[in-house]
Structure formats: C-alpha cells, structure tokens
A and B are shown apart, each in its own frame.
Chain A
Amino acid sequence: MAITRSDVEKVSLLARLQLSDAELDRLTVELAQIVEYVAHLSEVPTEGIEPMAHAVEVHNVFVVDEVLPSLPREAALANAPRHNERAFLVPPVLG
C-alpha cells in the first residue's frame, strides 16, 4: 500500500514535527521508497518465530532497593530552556 501525502501529514503530527510543504512532498516520495524496500520482509515466513527484542537476552535484572542521592534540582534544571529555579516553565497550556 503506497504512502500518501495525507499519511505523511498525519504521521508528522504524531511525531510532533512541523514540516513545510516541500518537506512533506519530499518525505512522501522517500518514505514510500523506503517502505517499499522494507516490505520485502513480508516474503519471510515467520509463523511461530518468537520476536527478538534484544540480542543477548537478560531477564529479571534486580537492584538492591536502597535510597541513593538523586540529581540535584539545580543540575536537573541547568539545561532547561526556561525555568524558575524550582520547575521547568512552558507556555500557558490552558486558556
């Protein structure tokens, strides 16, 4: 199934990307090519094959439940585009 421009527009909203008309046009062509290429996977019979999420599977990794110091607030805020020394600031969300 070919990717349409409106699919790409919808995905750009999901991906939280604001794309120009030129970018949408180009991505419609490029994504269609790439998706066509990866669609070759459908040739491979995979019934009953367990998906492999990690290369070396590690199960039940536990850590000791002890209180450790966390990142100081000052350090956590240091890279924030806007903060008031106590919290991250964003533009008004309501109203």
Chain B
Amino acid sequence: MPLSPLIEISTSEQIEQLQQGTITAVELTQAYLDCIATREAKVGAFLRVENQRALDQAAEVDKRRLKGETLGKLAGLPVAVKDVLCDKSTLTTCASRMLENFRPPYDSTVVAKLKMADAVLIGRTNMDEFAMGGSTENSAFQITRNPWDLDRAPGGSSGGSAACVAAEMAPLSIGTDTGGSIRQPAGLCGIVGLKPTYGRVSRFGLVAFASSLDQVGPLTRTTQDAALLLETIVGHDPRDSTSLDQPIPAYSKTIFEPVKGLRIGLVREHFAEGLASEVEAAVREAFRVYESLGATVKEVSLPHSKYAVATYYVIAPCEASSNLARYDGVHYGHRTDEAAMVAELAAERKALETAQDEVGLDRLDSTLVRMYKRSRSEGFGPEVKRRIMLGTYALSAGYYDAYYLKALQVRRLIRQDFDAAFGEVDLIAGPVTAQTAFKLGEMVEDPLSMYLVDLYTVSANLAGIPGISLPCGFDKSGLPIGLQLLAPPLEEERLLRGAYMFEQATEWHQRRPKW
C-alpha cells in the first residue's frame, strides 16, 4: 500500500492545509497511522500506538474547526510522547517492569500543554528504562531500531521519539534530555532535537531521573518545527519549583531572522582522540558553511570538559538513587508476590535457627525490608540497578565529600568555562557524538564505554544551558552525522535562529531513510 504524500510535506504546510480545510485532522492522523502500520514492525519506536484516541482527538479538532472555534497551535498535528511524561488518559511505564501498569492520576504540564494546543497524541515512545542509557536497549519491553540501518541503535534514551520522526511515523515528538538523551538520538537518527535551558520547561509530571539535570524538549524534522513545539511546551509553572519565570520569545516567528555578526565558537577540546574522521570532517565543513554566511569562527577552550562525563556519572546516579527510592512496592508500581516472599523469609529464618547463627538472625531482613528489596529487584532492569548502586555508594557515609560534593564543585567550574567562552562567542558548535550510530548490542556488555558516548552532550546539562542537534552530513555508510550548537542560558531564540541559518544553507535535513 503506497503511503500518503501528506506525511512528506512540511509541518507548516500541514498546518496551512488543515487551516484552509484542504485536509482534515482525521486524514492527516490516518496517514501517520498507516505509516506506523507499515514501518513500526521494523522500527519498534512505539510502546503503544494510541490509534483510537488519536482518531477521536483528530475528529474533535475537525468538528471544532468546522464550527469556527479558535484552535490551539498544534491543532490536528500528531505528536508522539516519550513514555516518561504522565498522561492520565493512558499508561506511563518509563519502559520499566516497575511501572508496567501505572496509570497516572494527573497529566504532566507538558502533556497538558499539548492537549491545550489541540495536538493529536498518537502514541507513547520507547526509551531506555527510566531514561537511563544511550541506546534505548535498556527498555524492559522492546528494542528500537535506527531507521537508517535497522541493525543499528537509534541512540537514547529518547530513541523511540527520534526513530518515529526519522521514520515519518509522526511529524513531531517529545523527549527528555538528562545527559544528551534528546540531542544524541536526534543526531544518530538525522533529525533535530533541542534541549532547553534547565527550568524552561516544567518538570511537573515528568518521572524524575536526575532532577537537577532533566529537561523536556522537542524532536522534529526541522528547526522550524522545533521552534513551534518548544513554544508550545515552555513556560513558568508554579508546580515545579525550579521552573523559570522568564519572558518567552515567539520562537516560531523569530527563527527566520539570521543572527547578525554571528560569532561561532569552536571548542579546542572537541577535536581530540576518538572523534571519527568523517564526523570531524562534517563538523569542520559546518564551520565553513557558517563562515560563508558571514559568521566568524573563533577558537574557545572549555578546559574542564574532560571531567564532564565523570562529573555527570556522579551527580546523575546520586540523584537517581534518591529519586528511585520511591519505588517501594507500596504506593504504586510492582510489588513482589507476598506469599513467596514470606515463605522465603521463613525458610531463611529456619536455616539460621538450625545453624544457631545469631549474627545471621540478627541481620535477617524484616518483612517490609524484604518486600522492598524483592519488589525493586524484580521491577528494575540491570542498568537502573547499576545506577542506583553507584549513586547509593557515592552518597553513603564517608564518600559524600569525595564524590558528590566534589562533582558539584567541578560542575561549577564547567559552567564557568561556558560563561567565559560565551563572553567571546554567541554560539558554540561541535559534534553531538564522536561516532555515527553503533550496532545494536555493541555496547550492552560495557557500561563505561556506553557512558563515554555522552562526552559531547553532558556538559550542557551540567551547565544548564540550551543545546540543539541538527543534521550536518552522512558518513560513507549512509548514517547521519549531527551538529551540536550550544547557547548561553535562556538563549533558545538565538540557538534556533543560528540553527535555522545552517539548515537553510544545507540540504541534510531533507534526506529520509529508504524503505
């Protein structure tokens, strides 16, 4: 069955046609559902496709449009949402057995804003469990494949959100980025992904991983679409105490204005050992594109960037171990089989009594502690356990100063490096990842090498600054290469305008995978 040409036209044209009534929201939604029916079996981007709900929402939009009602910014446009943002009309699993049946009692602010904007919520995307990982292979339910090469990973943790846009199964999607989880999969899947300034987008109803780093943002086909989707989800929210009460520029309107006298920073430390030559060549070419647009390129230094991954892998697991303490099998989430647990404890007690092991008896878990332990061990996958263990270790008595406190101090030095660099340049450009998409299974057995994939992305989370990934080339195997741009805090407008300049001058964003 040939797919509808509607999925290939730009989002702004889709909006225009919806507004003019030449297409209906139901037609557009059906076009994407048909694409999902054709490609999803190969890609596995969605944990759940919400067929009926999407068609109902679309029909409602069409009905209201016919009545002449004022509709939201995204009226009738399908949006896929990472399965980590609470949506009370469906499940929110975080790709974890722990939350396999969890139905949130309220909407996250981001989901509420999408609903207010009359978006069609087409499905919930796959991810690394609790957003911990960079390949989406840590999902408890399924793997997701990179649409450019089905033997390769889409990146992660927002791998489902990136893959569904790259495979044209949704025009827009939402992901979250704690250490690169929007920008890295966007880069590996050849699309645009933006992480806003920490505090720009409310975290209310976002299932917490590392609270001082987590941000929600758009994954889209173009920078213009990213501006539109960002505009829809940003804003101050009193229900998130770290939410920023700052004016919001009209990103989707100002994006077309080039940045006059743009100064682009090239980070000396970015071009070091480990960077694939084809990635380096594509990124260096991007600097030349900017120069041809009248920008000046200036070398800057981020001397503490080599400590960013280490800093991140202290702070993020510490915060995760604390945040994930809430999964105790009491209030919600998985609980172990109680009868089996009681029997297990009784057998252990009996054995210890027979052996007259007083110390062992003294140390034997209480029923409640054993329930927590079994519930958590059954509910969490290996990577989540690893991070909880790492964080618990780093925060345990005697280690706090050496790890967590130290990391928070280095974090400030990393931020100060950026502040100094942004005194000289307007934007910083560089690679998103050192390599293009890696093979599925390639890194599963080596957690540390998987962590090092975050090299270029974690600094922005630690410093709290906004960053965007956009396509800047392909390697000889046909895999996308991403360009990362970074801006000072709250300068998403400048970031998008700068990214749009590059996009207008190149055609990389127009390429699609072959099927």
Residues of A at the B interface (CB closer than 8 Å) are: 3, 7-8, 10-12, 14-19, 23, 27, 30-31, 33-35, 37-42, 44, 46, 49-56, 58, 61, 63, 71, 75-76, 78-82, 88, 90-93
Residues 356-375 (chain B) with a chain A CB within 8 angstroms? 366-374
Would you give the shortest CB distance from A78 to chain B, in whole angstroms? 6
- List 19 A–B pairs whose Cβ atoms lie within 8 Å, in order of A's numbering: A11-B396, A14-B392, A17-B373, A17-B389, A19-B377, A33-B448, A35-B390, A41-B307, A42-B402, A51-B405, A51-B412, A53-B212, A54-B198, A54-B464, A55-B199, A76-B331, A79-B102, A90-B368, A93-B366
Cβ-defined contact, A40 with B409, below 8 A: no
Which of the residues B389, B411, B465 comes within 8 Å of A27, measured between beta carbons? B389
Q: Roughly how many angstroms separate A80 CA and B331 CA in the complex, as a whole number?
A: 5
Q: Roughly how many angstroms separate A49 CA and B411 CA in the complex, as a whole number?
A: 10
Give chain A residues whose Cβ lies under 8 Å from the Cβ of B461. Answer: 55
Q: Roughly how many angstroms separate A10 CA and B392 CA in the complex, as a whole number?
A: 10
Cβ-defined contact, B389 with A31, below 8 A: yes
Would you give the shortest CB distance from B135 to chain A, in whole angstroms? 17
Give chain B residues whose Cβ lies under 8 Å from the Cβ of A44. Answer: 304, 307, 406, 409-410, 413
Which of the residues B212, B331, B448 comes within 8 Å of A55, measured between beta carbons? B212
Give chain B residues whose Cβ lies under 8 Å from the Cβ of A91. Answer: 338, 341-342, 367-368, 371
Give chain B residues whose Cβ lies under 8 Å from the Cβ of A58. Answer: 199, 241-242, 244
Give chain B residues whose Cβ lies under 8 Å from the Cβ of A56. Answer: 197-199, 242, 244, 464, 489-490
Which of the residues A40, A49, A61 comes within 8 Å of B307, measured between beta carbons? A40
Q: Roughly how many angstroms separate A90 CA and B325 CA in the complex, as a whole number?
A: 17
Give chain B residues whose Cβ lies under 8 Å from the Cβ of A8. Answer: 389
Would you give the shortest CB distance from A87 to chain B, in whole angstroms? 11
Cβ-defined contact, A88 with B331, below 8 A: yes
Cβ-defined contact, B393 with A7, below 8 A: yes
Give chain A residues whose Cβ lies under 8 Å from the Cβ of B325. Answer: 16
Give chain A residues whose Cβ lies under 8 Å from the Cβ of B330. Answer: 80-81, 88, 90
Q: Roughly how many angstroms separate A58 CA and B197 CA in the complex, as a whole number?
A: 13
Chain B residue nearest to A46 in the complex (CB): B409
As a 0/1 sequence over residues 445 to 477 of chain B, the CB contacts with chain A under 8 angstroms (1 = contact) are 001100100000000011111000000000000
Stretch from B67-75, B138-146, B309-317 contacting the other chain: B309-317
Chain B residue nearest to A64 in the complex (CB): B238
Cβ-defined contact, A30 with B310, below 8 A: no
Cβ-defined contact, A15 with B374, below 8 A: no
Interface of A is mostly: loop
The yes or no answer to B59 lying at the interface (CB within 8 A) is no
Give chain A residues whose Cβ lies under 8 Å from the Cβ of B244. Answer: 56, 58
Chain A residue nearest to B391 in the complex (CB): A15
Cβ-defined contact, B310 with A52, below 8 A: no
Cβ-defined contact, B373 with A18, below 8 A: yes
Would you give the shortest CB distance from B452 to chain A, in whole angstroms? 9
Leading 3 A-B pairs by shortest Cβ distance:
A55-B464, A51-B408, A79-B332
The yes or no answer to B134 lying at the interface (CB within 8 A) is no
The yes or no answer to B24 lying at the interface (CB within 8 A) is no
The yes or no answer to B106 lying at the interface (CB within 8 A) is yes
Q: Roughly how many angstroms separate A57 CA and B341 CA in the complex, as a whole number?
A: 45
Would you give the shortest CB distance from A28 to chain B, in whole angstroms? 10
Give chain B residues whose Cβ lies under 8 Å from the Cβ of A38. Answer: 310-311, 313-314, 394, 403, 407
Cβ-defined contact, A52 with B307, below 8 A: no
Cβ-defined contact, B462 with A55, below 8 A: yes
Give chain B residues whose Cβ lies under 8 Å from the Cβ of A54. Answer: 198, 212, 242, 464
Other A-B contacts than A44-B409, A51-B405, A58-B241, 10 sampled, CB-CB below 8 A, are: A11-B392, A16-B328, A17-B389, A33-B447, A42-B406, A44-B406, A51-B412, A54-B464, A71-B105, A79-B333
As a 0/1 sequence over residues 34 to 74 of chain B, the CB contacts with chain A under 8 angstroms (1 = contact) are 00000000000000000000000000000000000000000
Give chain A residues whose Cβ lies under 8 Å from the Cβ of B389. Answer: 8, 11-12, 15, 17, 27, 31
Q: Roughly how many angstroms separate A3 CA and B398 CA in the complex, as a whole number?
A: 14
Q: Roughly how many angstroms separate A8 CA and B325 CA in the complex, as a whole number?
A: 18
The yes or no answer to B385 lying at the interface (CB within 8 A) is yes
Chain A residue nearest to B332 in the complex (CB): A79
Give chain A residues whose Cβ lies under 8 Å from the Cβ of B313. Answer: 34, 37-38
Would you give the shortest CB distance from B459 to chain A, in whole angstroms? 11
Residues 302-330 (chain B) with a chain A CB within 8 angstroms? 304, 307, 309-311, 313-314, 321, 325, 328-330
The yes or no answer to B111 lying at the interface (CB within 8 A) is no
Give chain B residues whose Cβ lies under 8 Å from the Cβ of A80. Answer: 330-332
Give chain A residues whose Cβ lies under 8 Å from the Cβ of B310. Answer: 37-41
Q: Roughly how many angstroms separate A8 CA and B396 CA in the complex, as a whole number?
A: 11
The answer to whether residues A11 and B393 also contact, given A16-B369, A27-B386, A44-B307 and a CB cut-off of 8 A, is yes
Cβ-defined contact, B464 with A15, below 8 A: no
The yes or no answer to B388 lying at the interface (CB within 8 A) is yes
Which of the residues B103, B371, B396 comes within 8 Å of A79, measured between beta carbons? B103
As a 0/1 sequence over residues 408 to 421 of chain B, the CB contacts with chain A under 8 angstroms (1 = contact) are 11111101000000
Would you give the shortest CB distance from A7 to chain B, in whole angstroms? 7
Which of the residues B102, B105, B328, B410 comes within 8 Å of A41, measured between beta carbons? B410
As a 0/1 sequence over residues 197 to 236 of chain B, the CB contacts with chain A under 8 angstroms (1 = contact) are 1110000000000001100000000000000000000000
Chain A residue nearest to B373 in the complex (CB): A18
Which of the residues A35, A41, A63 comes within 8 Å of B406, measured between beta carbons? A41
